[in-house]
């Protein structure tokens, strides 16, 4: 867009709020403009809340929220934190738009500005009918109208959910049986071999040519895997998980499953560059600052993470520990006896800890004996009342959940004394298979809970996609626990989803499901400090909008009001770019139109 057209577009958007346009066009100083805009926003709020009683309540709230965001963005403190002045940028665009140093506003920036102004002026266009009809009636008539509205709402939700494939569908089960036969034939193996987890770990597919011989790949996928091996970026797929891929390059229903494990060239190249810089630069969560001793991470008063092994049967592309995992199912990834002994002793000496999360990597890659031994040492500590085991094997290698393993673990699950729970990681309903369900049920039938941690990525973020996953998870016995925002690492940009989408999903999609299904909490993991509960608006603020359309957030640490620790500033991904990608995969941006009004 040339500078003239850019200015015209900007002025047209500012026409939504003529007084704001006048202020920006004036020759006042920046500080005077800031004060005048603040006063304008105050006046608008006063009209909304104290004078114009014809505005419906929910619209008043939308206006109030948008005004509050605008005021936050205006603050000098927030400008310093974000290292960007939204108001100065607008002023520069108007008065010095020709300057070569000025970054051009992106389409995403214009969209953000437009929606902010639409909302503060009470024209967001969120509600079609001003008042729901049942509000005007009483008794049975009201109930019938309400019931019809609720059914309409649910039918709409089901229309979306019915689009998504599930691994329990009959047709999918048949397809995967064919996939299994094809894989077994390639490896000259038998059905009995398929049932043994060690057979799968021995036959993890680690290179592009073997993968291409087993399943059709797109050129991008082939090159991504080829480069991964060349650059030493961990890559592997278990034969079982490979059977979940449709044998159609780029055209199947398996996009989410492929994206889970097949790295893009962008990812692999960025990983190589980052590794060359320093390993520490990849530690996005800054675990190095929260590890009091090798093998342990502690971010909370009563819980810690114990990492006995730093490898998995396959690697999730967006894994937050990709800086620690050297290779897939690597023989030297266990922490080593001496270090593990020291870590266990550290827990024994720290009576404040009552919950230990054993993760990694995937602890179920350890032998039954090693797992039992570790559990029995933790079980000897009276202060350890809960042991959580984080594992994705029910999804990637369900054969690992053997009768012996479950019995060995269940021995330590003693109601009233100590709880042992499994935390797994299903990402998509296409990963829910009869085998995965069987693995989950083996724990459930002996009284142990199985929870799910979902990482909300582009590939499972379409309308009602995560809601459908939660619905299916409950049916197989898994309780949704956390939904994590994808970490803001640039190598995994392709996976990231705007914070506003997580909030929208919870409010407009998850909320339609029964409380027993939407049991998870949406969280943003603050590096060094830990989880910020996104649902609570008072725990984060939008503090700026950048020329490229990305919002800047300030996150408050969980111990706010307990300890004086720093807040965390995070730059999100552009909502406009996200919607464009959704469109490229066949979704309608109009279905997400309220996303702009989540902050």
Binding site for ligand SF4 (CB under 6 A): 312, 315-316, 319, 321, 360-362, 392, 425
**Nearest-10 Cα torsion for 8, 11, 15, 16:** 100
Instruction: Please identify, using beta-carbon distances, which residue of 70 and 364 lies nearer to ligand SF4.
Output: 364
Smallest distance, ligand SF4 to C-beta of residue 335, A: 14
**DSSP structure class, residue 243:** T
With CA atoms as reference, report the closest residue to 186 among 224, 227, 243: 243
Beta-ladder partners of 540: 555
Smallest distance, ligand SF4 to C-beta of residue 110, A: 36
User: How many angstroms separate the CA atoms of 597 and 160, rounded?
Assistant: 22
Smallest distance, ligand SF4 to C-beta of residue 188, A: 29
Smallest distance, ligand SF4 to C-beta of residue 261, A: 9
How many residues belong to the chain? 599
Smallest distance, ligand SF4 to C-beta of residue 306, A: 13
Instruction: Please identify, using beta-carbon distances, which residue of 85 and 525 lies nearer to ligand SF4.
Output: 525
With CA atoms as reference, report the closest residue to 389 among 381, 378, 402: 378
Measured in whole angstroms, how far is the alpha carbon of residue 144 from the centre of its chain?
38
Instruction: Please identify, using beta-carbon distances, which residue of 316 and 582 lies nearer to ligand SF4.
Output: 316
Return the residue matching tokens 């984060």: 540
Instruction: Please identify, using beta-carbon distances, which residue of 394 and 557 lies nearer to ligand SF4.
Output: 394
307: which residues sit within 8 A by CB, 6+ positions away? 295, 296, 297, 324, 335, 358, 359, 360, 361
With CA atoms as reference, report the closest residue to 478 among 593, 401, 407: 401
Smallest distance, ligand SF4 to C-beta of residue 392, A: 4
Smallest distance, ligand SF4 to C-beta of residue 61, A: 38
Instruction: Please identify, using beta-carbon distances, which residue of 312 and 378 lies nearer to ligand SF4.
Output: 312
Half-sphere exposure of 245 (CA within 13 A, CB side): 26
Structure tokens given for 272: 């190589």
Smallest distance, ligand SF4 to C-beta of residue 179, A: 22
For the chain, the straight-line distance linking the first and the last C-alpha, in angstroms and rounded, comes to 28
| Pairing assessment for the beta strands 568-571 and 551-555 based on DSSP bridges | antiparallel
Smallest distance, ligand SF4 to C-beta of residue 507, A: 27
Instruction: Please identify, using beta-carbon distances, which residue of 84 and 270 lies nearer to ligand SF4.
Output: 270
Instruction: Please identify, using beta-carbon distances, which residue of 247 and 291 lies nearer to ligand SF4.
Output: 291
Instruction: Please identify, using beta-carbon distances, which residue of 260 and 461 lies nearer to ligand SF4.
Output: 260
- Do residues 547 and 89 make contact, with C-beta atoms less than 8 angstroms apart? yes
User: How many angstroms separate the CA atoms of 475 and 481, rounded?
Assistant: 15
């Amino acid at each position: 867009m040339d500078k003239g057209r850019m200015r015209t577009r900007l002025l047209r958007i500012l026409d939504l709020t003529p007084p704001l346009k006048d202020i920006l066009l004036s020759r006042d100083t920046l500080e005077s403009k800031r004060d005048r805009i603040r006063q304008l926003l105050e006046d608008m709020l006063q009209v909304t809340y104290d004078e114009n009683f014809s505005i419906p309540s929910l619209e008043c709230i939308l206006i109030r929220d948008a005004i509050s965001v605008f005021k936050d963005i205006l603050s000098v403190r927030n400008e310093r934190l974000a290292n960007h002045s939204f108001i100065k940028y607008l002023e520069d665009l108007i008065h010095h738009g020709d300057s070569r140093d000025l970054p051009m506003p992106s389409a995403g920036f214009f969209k953000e500005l437009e929606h902010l102004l639409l909302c503060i002026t009470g024209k967001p266009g969120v509600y079609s009918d001003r008042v729901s009809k049942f509000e005007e009636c009483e008794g049975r008539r009201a109930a019938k109208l309400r019931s019809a509205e609720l059914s309409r709402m649910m039918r709409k939700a089901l229309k979306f959910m019915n689009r998504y494939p599930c691994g329990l569908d009959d047709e999918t089960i048949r397809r995967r049986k064919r996939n299994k036969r094809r894989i077994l034939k390639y490896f000259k193996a038998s059905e009995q071999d398929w049932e043994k987890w060690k057979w799968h770990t021995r036959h993890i597919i680690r290179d592009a040519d073997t993968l291409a011989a087993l399943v059709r790949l797109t050129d991008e996928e082939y090159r991504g895997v080829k480069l991964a091996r060349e650059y030493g970026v961990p890559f592997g797929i278990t034969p079982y998980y490979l059977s979940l891929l449709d044998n159609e390059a780029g055209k199947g229903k398996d996009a989410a499953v492929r994206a889970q494990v097949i790295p893009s060239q962008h990812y692999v190249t960025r990983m190589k560059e980052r590794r060359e810089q320093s390993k520490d630069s990849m530690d996005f969560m800054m675990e190095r600052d929260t590890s009091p001793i090798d093998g342990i991470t502690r971010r909370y008063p009563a819980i810690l993470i114990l990492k006995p092994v730093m490898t998995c049967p396959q690697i999730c592309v967006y894994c937050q520990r990709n800086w620690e995992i050297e290779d897939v199912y690597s023989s030297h990834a266990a922490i080593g006896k001496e270090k593990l002994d020291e870590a266990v002793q550290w827990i024994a000496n720290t009576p404040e800890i009552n919950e230990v999360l054993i993760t990694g990597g995937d602890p179920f890659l350890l032998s039954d004996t090693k797992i039992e031994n570790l559990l029995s040492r933790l079980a000897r500590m009276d202060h350890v009342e809960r042991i959580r085991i984080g594992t994705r094997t029910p999804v990637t290698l369900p054969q690992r959940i053997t009768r012996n393993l479950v019995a060995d673990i269940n021995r330590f699950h003693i109601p009233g004394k100590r709880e042992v729970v499994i935390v797994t990681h299903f990402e998509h309903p296409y990963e829910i298979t009869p085998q995965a369900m069987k693995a989950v049920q083996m724990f459930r039938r002996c009284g142990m809970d199985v929870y799910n941690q979902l990482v909300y990525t582009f590939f499972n973020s379409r309308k009602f996609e995560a809601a459908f996953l939660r619905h299916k998870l409950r049916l197989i016995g898994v309780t949704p626990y956390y939904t994590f925002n994808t970490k803001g690492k640039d190598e995994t940009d392709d996976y990231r989803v705007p914070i506003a989408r997580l909030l929208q999903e919870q409010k407009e999609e998850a909320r339609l499901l029964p409380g027993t299904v939407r049991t998870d909490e949406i969280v943003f993991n603050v590096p060094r400090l830990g989880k910020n509960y996104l649902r609570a608006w008072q725990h984060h603020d939008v503090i700026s909008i950048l020329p490229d359309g990305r919002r800047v957030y300030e996150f408050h640490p969980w111990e706010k009001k307990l300890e004086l620790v720093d807040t965390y500033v995070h730059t999100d991904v552009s909502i406009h770019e996200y919607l464009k990608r959704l469109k490229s995969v066949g979704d309608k941006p109009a279905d997400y139109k309220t996303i702009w009004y989540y902050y």
